[in-house]
Structure 1
Amino acid sequence: MKKNWLIISRYPKRSMGRTLDVHRTQTSRYHPQPSWTVRNKQRASLSFFIVVIFFAVFGMIVFTELFVIDERNRNGGYTMRNGILLYRSHQEKNEYEEDLQGDNFPKALDNGIEALLAGEQFGVPIAADNLKSQGYILPNSMGTQISSGSQINVPLADGIWQNVAGTTNKFFVYSAYFDRREPFNFIRIIGATKTRGHDPVFCRFWYPLLEKNSTKYISTNTTANVKVIRENWNLKYSAVYVNCPLKKGQAVPTAVSIFSKPSPTPTNTLIVNNFYNETQLPTKKYAVCVKPLHYNYDKMMQIVEFIELNRIMGVEHFVFYNHTVGHQVDCLLREYISKGVVTLLPWDLDLLSQKEIRTEGLFAAMNDCLYRTMYRFSHVLFIDFDEYIIPRSKPTLPELIENLQRQRRGPEVGAYSFQNAFFYLQWDDDEWTQDTQDVIALNLVTQKKTRRKSKLHPHKQRSKYICRPEKVVEVGNHFVWEFIRGFVSYNIPSDHGILHHYRICEFGGDDCVKQASTVDRTAFKYRTELVEAVKSVYDNNKDKCDLEDLYMSERQQIAAVPFIDIFNKDFKRLLDPNTR
């Protein structure tokens, strides 16, 4: 007993029952109780068993899901092909068999197609060798379902909005371009459709059967991938890319059509633009892209100043999109078109601006211009009519970019970003306007408005850019959204150049003029040459285009009249008895 009481004395705060347990553990020889170590082992074994059961159940769930997905791919749903997520339904199975979509074209179909290409089925006098000589790929690598000897019901077109029939929501396509950049070749189509939940569509490639003056075509079908262009302001409809993949070695088609499941007969046919020419890649060729002209745009002095000043700074060509313009601008643009200075494309998108899609679908126009200028111009400016990228350290943009590129170290540049500076129109004209009666000079905003906001916007906020189009995948309003791999945007220091933005206060009213400002006469270096160029265009087209007369403002007229003339006029009025 003494020994047991000694054990109890070691645990004075425990209950008697617990003490007796200890006593029994130590005194019982024939009925030993499990120790704490044994109990811990039992608990560990139970935990391990629970973990094994959990992973077994989880594995069964994963296995079941994989089996169900495989069944879905057979009967319809989503599947991955060539790195693109595609949709297939059970009803499409007959028309778009997996065998026909695969890389190995069925041999059973090869013989029929070769006979077709040889003109045996439709009486077309053409041999397969003729197609080979034109660069066409024969059936082994040509692709999916081939229909041949057919006529295209819709005229081939480029740069015109066309409807995709049979879709649940509005779906339009505008232009098509061959994109040869990695990782694989495909036809990239500029379109517009619903931002979320767009309809699945398919591509039909058209290849002519005859070398010249052919109205017969063979065609191949493939599934399209619709990619929404990022800037859509969360509106119902958005600009989109419709991407149609080409197989390895497949020839670039002459045209492409987009169609939906219920409409196997296409209601649109787009010419495929292929501007790549390895021996004639452009160098130091600059172009400008501008969003669609709308609201019957007719500011004839603004557009002439815009074109002529940019030409002085090194730009060779301008791409505009015509939604609605007035008669003066229309006439002037026709003159520029005849000289090869301007490309003007129709823009009649059947979507409500600002309600269904952002500002006349401007992001479709901007990205169309990106691909339309690719491989034709080395650099492209994306700006508006009230904006000018003005170089400060060099006289022209090509000289500026060349100098900056020579000094730069680091990743390859795909675009050059310029900070925005507001030249608010509510601020007074520069003082030189009080000493001239030159109506041309007095109507040039870059010369008379020289006060700007002191603080520049950061890059990507109101900034604009010059890009190398072949290095870009998708452009936005103020910056490039996506480059090809390895290229980045270069933020240009303000001492080399900034964006001059001539506009009224962006939030309405006149409070903006209270902000800190500075006088910036950088654009003065172009004044003499600009005035002469604008005057020449105005004088040569005034009668032909019925251009309005130019006037000085009331303030300018008063400032331009010599003081002695004002004094004499007032003195004569005082002497006139009729005014007494």
Structure 2
Amino acid sequence: MVEWIEMNRMLGVSHFYMYNDSMSEELGCILSHYQQQGLITLLPWDIPISIGDRKVVRIRGQFLAFNDCIYRAMTRARWLMIIDTDELVIPRQERQLTTLLDSLVKNYSRADGNAGFIFKNFFFFLEWEDDPVSSVPLLTSRKTRRVIMGTPIPQRSKYIVRPLEIIEPGNHFVWKHVNDAYNSNVPEEHAIMHHYRINRIGKVPINETVVDRIAHRWTKNLWKRVKTKLQNIQCLQIKHLE
């Protein structure tokens, strides 16, 4: 979690909205530290759902959380990114998402109103071997093998949008925009979405994968930030001393 937060901060994210269905004491300690710094808005999300409601209210109200987030951020954020904590949107050329977005607006927007951008999903399965050139325990450094062919948009994709242009967000794409606003699919040479998770799609032949070390561009500074955070989060030190 510390790696995910610090990587996103290096990419230009200034604030996080997170929804807590359940979490461990150690994770609560980490998020409390970031809350005290004003970097996280952590919201309780304990929605009682009966078995009969599960077909209507999916994944413990996940879509409700997306909509809550859009409207909370609407007057505060120029851009809002919807991703999970096992995902990262990684620019292929720029160092930050902010400069990437500026470039995308310039090159891929039409005059009739671009509400945001959709990023293609690529799996980096956790079962695959660690990168032998990785010298640190960061997930983004160790897990560099990915599928060559990403999941077709809008399946598994995630997006960055202007919240004022959105009426109803979904999980992998926006369901309803304001007026005639639209989202553009981002070409893979500009950015992709890294998805670090266990393999649930079956065996993938080695010739259908590739080693992608683009995230290594941030490894040195990211490892410094993660180590510093782990040393400075007081409740973690107290727990380890006990």
TM-score with structure 2 length normalisation?
Answer: 0.92
Choose which of 25, 30, 39 in structure 2 pairs with 1:341.
39
Choose which of 181, 186, 189 in structure 2 pairs with 1:487.
181
Could you say if the C-alpha distance between residues 373 and 457 of structure 1 is closer, same or farther in structure 2, counting changes exceeding 3 Å? same
C-alpha contact 1:353 1:359 (8 A) present in aligned 2:
no
**Following the alignment from structure 1 to structure 2, what is the Cα–Cα distance between the partners of residues 537 and 515?**
39
Matches within 5 A, 1:39-50: none
Query: Match for 2:125: what amino acid?
Result: Y
Equivalent residue number for residue 524 of structure 1: 216
**Following the alignment from structure 2 to structure 1, what is the Cα–Cα distance between the partners of residues 235 and 35?**
18
Choose which of 52, 62, 70 in structure 2 pairs with 1:362.
62
Q: After TM superposition, give the deviation of residue 350 of structure 1 in Å.
A: 1.8
**Following the alignment from structure 2 to structure 1, what is the Cα–Cα distance between the partners of residues 159 and 15?**
16
**Following the alignment from structure 2 to structure 1, what is the Cα–Cα distance between the partners of residues 51 and 193?**
27
2:172 matches 1:474: no
2:143 matches 1:445: no
Equivalent residue number for residue 105 of structure 2: 405
**Following the alignment from structure 1 to structure 2, what is the Cα–Cα distance between the partners of residues 353 and 328?**
30
Q: Secondary structure at the match of 2:133?
A: helix
Q: After TM superposition, give the deviation of residue 453 of structure 1 in Å.
A: 0.2
Q: Secondary structure at the match of 2:14?
A: strand
Q: RCO (CA 8 Å, sep 6+): is it higher in 1 or 2? A: 2
**Following the alignment from structure 1 to structure 2, what is the Cα–Cα distance between the partners of residues 547 and 352?**
36
Could you say if the C-alpha distance between residues 481 and 534 of structure 1 is closer, same or farther in structure 2, counting changes exceeding 3 Å? same
Q: After TM superposition, give the deviation of residue 472 of structure 1 in Å.
A: 0.4
Could you say if the C-alpha distance between residues 445 and 468 of structure 1 is closer, same or farther in structure 2, counting changes exceeding 3 Å? same
Equivalent residue number for residue 201 of structure 1: none
In our comparison, the structure showing a higher alpha carbon Rg is 1
Could you say if the C-alpha distance between residues 474 and 348 of structure 1 is closer, same or farther in structure 2, counting changes exceeding 3 Å? same
Choose which of 204, 225, 242 in structure 2 pairs with 1:533.
225
Choose which of 27, 38, 45 in structure 2 pairs with 1:329.
27
**Following the alignment from structure 1 to structure 2, what is the Cα–Cα distance between the partners of residues 520 and 353?**
42
Matches within 5 A, 1:87-98: none
**Following the alignment from structure 1 to structure 2, what is the Cα–Cα distance between the partners of residues 399 and 478?**
23
Query: Match for 1:399: what amino acid?
Result: T
Equivalent residue number for residue 126 of structure 2: 425
Could you say if the C-alpha distance between residues 520 and 514 of structure 1 is closer, same or farther in structure 2, counting changes exceeding 3 Å? closer
Can you list the C-alpha shifts for 1:501-556, whole angstroms capped at 9, x where unaligned? Answer: 0111124xx6236561001111111111110111011111265455669xxxxxxx
**Following the alignment from structure 1 to structure 2, what is the Cα–Cα distance between the partners of residues 514 and 529?**
31
Query: Match for 2:216: what amino acid?
Result: F
**Following the alignment from structure 1 to structure 2, what is the Cα–Cα distance between the partners of residues 390 and 529?**
16
Q: After TM superposition, give the deviation of residue 352 of structure 1 in Å.
A: 3.5
**Following the alignment from structure 1 to structure 2, what is the Cα–Cα distance between the partners of residues 473 and 408?**
22
Matches within 5 A, 1:69-88: none
Could you say if the C-alpha distance between residues 366 and 515 of structure 1 is closer, same or farther in structure 2, counting changes exceeding 3 Å? farther
Q: After TM superposition, give the deviation of residue 406 of structure 1 in Å.
A: 1.3
Q: Secondary structure at the match of 1:394?
A: coil
C-alpha contact 1:332 1:545 (8 A) present in aligned 2:
no
Could you say if the C-alpha distance between residues 482 and 393 of structure 1 is closer, same or farther in structure 2, counting changes exceeding 3 Å? same
List structure 1 segments (4+ residues) > 6 angstroms apart after TM superposition.
Answer: none
**Following the alignment from structure 2 to structure 1, what is the Cα–Cα distance between the partners of residues 176 and 232?**
43
Equivalent residue number for residue 90 of structure 2: 390
Query: Match for 2:113: what amino acid?
Result: E
Instruction: Extract unaligned runs of 5+ from structure 2.
Output: none
Query: Match for 1:472: what amino acid?
Result: I
C-alpha contact 1:415 1:480 (8 A) present in aligned 2:
no
C-alpha contact 2:231 2:237 (8 A) present in aligned 1:
no
Could you say if the C-alpha distance between residues 532 and 347 of structure 1 is closer, same or farther in structure 2, counting changes exceeding 3 Å? same
**Following the alignment from structure 1 to structure 2, what is the Cα–Cα distance between the partners of residues 395 and 418?**
16
C-alpha contact 1:472 1:484 (8 A) present in aligned 2:
yes
Query: Match for 2:170: what amino acid?
Result: G
Q: After TM superposition, give the deviation of residue 359 of structure 1 in Å.
A: 1.2
C-alpha contact 2:130 2:143 (8 A) present in aligned 1:
yes
Equivalent residue number for residue 148 of structure 2: 454
Choose which of 177, 198, 203 in structure 2 pairs with 1:504.
198
C-alpha contact 2:109 2:184 (8 A) present in aligned 1:
no
Query: Match for 2:204: what amino acid?
Result: C
Q: How many residues end up aligned between the 2 structures? A: 238
2:78 matches 1:378: yes
* Percent identical: 38
Q: Secondary structure at the match of 2:69?
A: helix
Q: Secondary structure at the match of 2:94?
A: coil
Matches within 5 A, 1:117-128: none
Could you say if the C-alpha distance between residues 543 and 413 of structure 1 is closer, same or farther in structure 2, counting changes exceeding 3 Å? same
C-alpha contact 2:91 2:97 (8 A) present in aligned 1:
yes
**Following the alignment from structure 1 to structure 2, what is the Cα–Cα distance between the partners of residues 337 and 362?**
22
Could you say if the C-alpha distance between residues 353 and 520 of structure 1 is closer, same or farther in structure 2, counting changes exceeding 3 Å? farther
Q: Secondary structure at the match of 1:524?
A: helix
**Following the alignment from structure 2 to structure 1, what is the Cα–Cα distance between the partners of residues 64 and 36?**
26
Matches within 5 A, 1:185-204: none
**Following the alignment from structure 1 to structure 2, what is the Cα–Cα distance between the partners of residues 334 and 354?**
35
Could you say if the C-alpha distance between residues 547 and 501 of structure 1 is closer, same or farther in structure 2, counting changes exceeding 3 Å? farther
- C-alpha root-mean-square deviation of aligned residues, in Å? 1.9
